[in-house]
Amino acid sequence: MTFHASQALRAEALRILQQAQSMDNMGPFLVTHTHSGGFDSYILWASELPTVQEAVDQLPLIYEPDLGDTVRIEPSFSLEDFTCMYPNRMLVPQADVEDDDPGIDRPRG
């Protein structure tokens, strides 16, 4: 699959997610579970900021606050942020970009 074909799939994913959001008003929230072994991040779909208990109940995490675990829930972000698909901005491979082209975001690796 070429890079441009994969970008077309991301654009289609954005369109489908926008359609779903118009039906249920749910958006993505970033949930970070910090624990003794490090941290894990999840995306939780909800119509409003979920509580820690709601996140714990819906995600596959073992939350042990007595051992110092924390759960942080970031406010919802846009579907464009979620898919990295922005109007009038196109992500292209580094090899396809001239160094002086200011209108292109380059992948960061």
pTM for the model = 0.74
Phi/psi for 33 (5° steps) reads -105, 115
Instruction: Say what the pLDDT of residue 32 is.
Output: 97
Query: For 5-59, what is each residue's pLDDT tens digit?
Result: 888 898 999 999 999 999 999 999 999 999 999 999 999 999 999 999 999 999 9
pLDDT higher than 50, residue 104: no
Instruction: Say what the pLDDT of residue 109 is.
Output: 42
Instruction: Say what the pLDDT of residue 93 is.
Output: 57
Phi/psi for 29 (5° steps) reads -120, 140
Instruction: Say what the pLDDT of residue 90 is.
Output: 61
Query: For 55-95, what is each residue's pLDDT tens digit?
Result: 999 999 999 999 999 999 998 889 999 888 887 766 555 55
